[in-house]
């Protein structure tokens, strides 16, 4: 009897040691020594048993049942989060479990350049597989969504889709990304708001609210690709407002046409210039009712801090920079030199700005 009991005890102990050893080996060693990155998806609604099986199929763990048991033992199964995770076969099950329950998905860059409008950004979202262009445009105009983000009943989110490089994940929705962009605007605006208050004190004839500031900045952003020109372009439009002159800026005309047609036109026509819209600054005085693009921080600051000047006009050099003039006579001469003369356009493009080296001050 004692011999039989001793043999049974020995067997149980041996099994326990074996289970403990193999369990320890499973938890402390990876599937292999291969550190090649593997992108692994945990889809919405997936359970830990399914994820464990997928990990085994992907040759990231050796035993799905052990992984499932261990995650339940650790109380981690309910913490599983959707995401696209960077794993490798050298990671231990413990490390893999920590990653797939972290919610820290692989992040990719999503870049919105200064001056893009909502049609441009809708295109970007679609090209990067974040829903369709039409879905984005619908969200940009969703009054309830706008109210929840900005706290005011605007017609669209134009002007508030802040230009920057964002970190987005495979499972982010359009709404997630758009929300991130507007929150970034609000963060930047909070920094600039004291400057707006000072500006309104110094220029009581303006008394701008947030939307008017963004509208003015959006025009400045569209009118020049040269960063150093923004305060000077701002000066021209401030000077025009002070003299009760129309702003007469082509981008506002194009935006009014785009709203009517549902897409941005490629060219501006004489008919467009003469056709009144709420945005046509050739036919209206003052600012249009809302932004025409999404300005960056520098354009917002330029709107509030124009460079002192007497300039009232500017014309393109055809390379992204401009010739500024104080009088209509000087402006017409500049138009003749830089626009009417076909030689002035040959071989030039606003893209030349990208090839220019920054100037250094001595």
CA nearest 259: which of 276, 273, 279, 275? 279
pLDDT value of residue 358: 43
Q: Token pair for residue 333?
A: 């001469």
What is the predicted pLDDT for the residue at 240?
97
Q: What is the DSSP string of 8-54?
A: HHHHHHHHHHHHHHHHHHHHHS-S-S----EEEEE-TT--HHHHHHH
Report which of 238, 292, 248, 301 is spatially closest to residue 273, judged by C-alpha positions.
248
Contact 84, 170 (CB under 8 A): yes
pLDDT confidence of residue 340: 78
The CATH code belonging to domain 27-100 is 3.30.1490.480
CA–CA distance, 136 with 119 (Å, rounded to integer): 9
Cβ-Cβ contacts under 8 Å for 192 (sequence gap 6 or more): 297, 300, 301, 304
Instruction: Find the radius of gyration of the CA atoms of the chain.
Output: 30
Q: Counting runs of H as helices and runs of E as strands, what totals does the chain give?
A: 14, 6
* More confident position, 360 or 29: 29
CB count within 10 Å of CB 10 equals: 10
Residue 21 has pLDDT above 90, yes or no: no
Burial of 191-208, coded b for 16+ CB within 10 Å and e otherwise, reads: ebeeebeebbeeeeebeb
Nearest CA-CA partner of 249 in 238, 259, 260, 262: 238
Sign for the CA dihedral angle at 77, 81, 82, 85 comes to negative
Note the pLDDT of residue 19: 45
Domain segments of the chain as ranges: 27-100, 118-311
pLDDT digits (tens, 9 = 90+) for 22-44: 555 657 778 899 999 999 999 99
């Amino acid at each position: 009897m004692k011999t039989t009991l001793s043999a049974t005890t020995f067997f149980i102990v041996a099994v326990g040691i074996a289970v403990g050893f193999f369990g320890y080996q499973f938890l402390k060693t990876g599937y292999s020594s291969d550190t090649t990155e593997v992108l692994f998806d945990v889809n919405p609604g997936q359970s830990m048993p399914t994820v464990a099986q997928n990990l085994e199929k992907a040759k990231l763990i050796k035993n799905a049942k052990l992984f499932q048991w261990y995650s339940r033992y650790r109380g981690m199964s309910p913490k599983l989060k959707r995401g696209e995770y960077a794993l490798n076969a050298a990671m231990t099950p413990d490390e893999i479990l920590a990653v797939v329950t972290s919610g820290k998905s692989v992040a990719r860059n999503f870049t919105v350049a200064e001056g893009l409008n909502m049609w441009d950004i809708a295109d970007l979202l679609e090209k990067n597989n974040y829903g369709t262009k039409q879905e984005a445009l619908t969200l940009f105009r969703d009054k309830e969504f706008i109210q929840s983000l900005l706290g005011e009943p605007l017609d669209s989110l134009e002007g508030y889709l802040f230009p920057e490089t964002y970190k987005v994940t495979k499972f982010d929705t359009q709404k997630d990304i758009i929300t991130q962009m507007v929150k970034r605007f609000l963060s930047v605006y909070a920094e600039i708001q004291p400057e707006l208050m000072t500006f309104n004190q110094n220029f009581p004839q303006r008394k701008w609210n947030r939307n008017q500031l963004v509208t003015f900045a959006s025009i400045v952003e569209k009118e020049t690709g040269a960063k150093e020109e923004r305060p000077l372009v701002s000066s021209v439009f401030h000077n025009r407002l002070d003299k009760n002159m129309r702003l007469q800026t082509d981008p506002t005309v194009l935006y009014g046409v785009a709203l009517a047609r549902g897409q941005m036109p490629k060219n501006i026509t004489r008919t467009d210039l003469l056709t009144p819209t709420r945005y046509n600054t050739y036919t209206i005085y003052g600012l249009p009712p809302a932004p025409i693009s999404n300005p960056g921080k520098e354009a917002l600051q330029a709107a509030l801090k124009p460079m002192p000047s007497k300039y009232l006009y500017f014309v393109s050099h055809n390379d992204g920079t401009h010739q500024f003039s104080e009088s209509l006579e000087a402006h017409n001469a500049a138009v003749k030199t830089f626009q009417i003369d076909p030689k002035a356009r040959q071989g030039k493009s606003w893209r030349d700005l990208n090839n220019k080296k920054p100037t250094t001050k001595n």
